[in-house]
Chain A
Amino acid sequence: MQRLKAAQDAYPNSTGYENHHFIPLYLGGASNGQTYRLPTAYHKAVTQQFRRVWPYGQGRRPTPQELQKLLLAVYSEYPIPQLIGITP
């Protein structure tokens, strides 16, 4: 809940909800892969964290093992609310 609130504070003009790909497309996620409906501000915060960990647009790819570590690093800090029993 703290993270959700912090994201809302960081992006006060972001309202509504957006679908978030659990594995971002630029890291090899499929367009029809698992998505979660997140508040737009939280979606922005999660996306920003992914790009801190693996910058966008560098034309490189993680191995599947590296991808697991990336996902763990991001989602341990910015969990998917639905996966920890919170309705966003």
Chain B
Amino acid sequence: MRETIEFRIAERDARMHLDPGLGVSLGGSIRKVVLPVDDARVGRIAQLHRAYGERGDAFFLSWNLHRSYTEKELRAAELLNLIVRARFEPTGAMCGTTYDESSTCRHCGAGARQASDLVLDTRRIPKSKDIAQTIAGEVVVSSRFATAFRESGLRGAELRPVLHQGRGKPLSSDWLQLIVTSKPRSLSTRTVAGNNPFDLDEDDAFRCPLGHIAGLNQISELYVERSSLDDADVAVTDKLFGDRRGELRPEPRLLISPRLRDALQALPAQGYALEAAHFV
């Protein structure tokens, strides 16, 4: 597995501290820098970020970890983290989907229960994708994904109708909502979560005291307790990532079996990436 980290840095700050040839300019004011995670310059950027932080500022504006695998590594994985790449808005709640908030955690906002069919502006779903998700974490799949899921005899999820928010009453659509029904997998404490790779939220500001949320962002690959394994082809983690803020909600991670990986690759499905996940 090759792991790189991408930073977006204000050009003004990058010019002061980084080699002018490092990274590429985006629109003149932002510099994109991608480095292997073990590169010495990553340590330098982390130091700068801490120093900026001490005066209430930040050196980098955003970060992202990219993990790429060989085909052999992905084929060897017992369990995979399905990452939905295609995201869109407006969210279900903005389109008329109703949620029962009565069991929502008062600390972290997790636990709202969807109480109606998912209603979306389906024109906003990226058309070329087979799996996509709203910024609130509602996952939808194409009819060809649904057919492959059913014909392959895959287990662990229901596919329910997605309604299109029309001018009058909601209309049927070709999209389906992926509702995971299998038992959640227990996320191991080996999974690293935090605010960013250099700030693991030592104060637990983004961890729910009742244990619903592992952290604001996923930093490492996922580690899952083997004892929580069953025969489902798709499952979610028991702990969530993120927070309740505006239209955003805490989200679990999706875990899939090699059988579902094979079905996705055979389609081939569009709109996702895979990472290895590990049993402990």
Where the two chains meet, the residues of A that have a C-beta atom closer than 8 Å to any C-beta of B are 23, 25-26, 28-31, 33, 48-49, 52-63, 65-66, 69-70, 73, 77
Does B87 contact A52, Cβ atoms closer than 8 Å? no
Apart from the given pairs A53-B30, A65-B58, A73-B30, 11 other A-B contacts in the complex at a CB distance below 8 Å: A25-B247, A30-B247, A56-B87, A57-B86, A59-B83, A59-B251, A61-B242, A61-B245, A61-B248, A62-B62, A65-B56
A30 proximity list for chain B (CB < 8 A): 246-247
Q: What is the bound-complex CA distance between A55 and B26, given in angstroms? A: 12
Where the two chains meet, the residues of B that have a C-beta atom closer than 8 Å to any C-beta of A are 8, 10, 26-27, 29-30, 56-58, 61-64, 83-87, 89-91, 94, 135, 195-196, 199, 205-206, 216-217, 242-243, 245-248, 251
Does A52 contact B64, Cβ atoms closer than 8 Å? no
Q: What is the bound-complex CA distance between A55 and B30, given in angstroms? A: 12
- Shortest C-beta distance, A19 to chain B (Å), equals 13
- What are 17 of the A-B contact pairs (CB < 8 Å)? A26-B248, A28-B246, A28-B248, A29-B247, A31-B90, A31-B91, A53-B8, A53-B30, A61-B242, A61-B248, A63-B195, A66-B61, A66-B62, A66-B196, A69-B61, A73-B30, A73-B61
B61 proximity list for chain A (CB < 8 A): 53-54, 66, 69-70, 73
- Shortest C-beta distance, A55 to chain B (Å), equals 7
B247 proximity list for chain A (CB < 8 A): 25, 28-31
B206 proximity list for chain A (CB < 8 A): 63
With a 10 A CB-CB cut-off, give which of B58, B196, B246 has the most chain A CB atoms: B246
Does B246 contact A29, Cβ atoms closer than 8 Å? yes
Does A25 contact B242, Cβ atoms closer than 8 Å? no
Does A61 contact B216, Cβ atoms closer than 8 Å? yes
B89 proximity list for chain A (CB < 8 A): 25-26
B30 proximity list for chain A (CB < 8 A): 49, 52-53, 73
Q: Please, which residue of chain A has its CB at the minimum distance from the CB of B201?
A: A63
A69 proximity list for chain B (CB < 8 A): 57-58, 61
Does B10 contact A33, Cβ atoms closer than 8 Å? no
Q: What is the bound-complex CA distance between A54 and B7, given in angstroms? A: 10
- Shortest C-beta distance, A2 to chain B (Å), equals 14
- Shortest C-beta distance, A61 to chain B (Å), equals 6
- Shortest C-beta distance, A65 to chain B (Å), equals 7
- Our pick among B26, B64, B84, B86 for the contact of A60 (Cβ within 8 Å) is B64
Q: What is the bound-complex CA distance between A23 and B247, given in angstroms? A: 11
- Shortest C-beta distance, A77 to chain B (Å), equals 6
- Our pick among B8, B56, B90 for the contact of A52 (Cβ within 8 Å) is B8
A28 proximity list for chain B (CB < 8 A): 243, 245-248
Q: Please, which residue of chain B has its CB at the minimum distance from the CB of A78?
A: B29
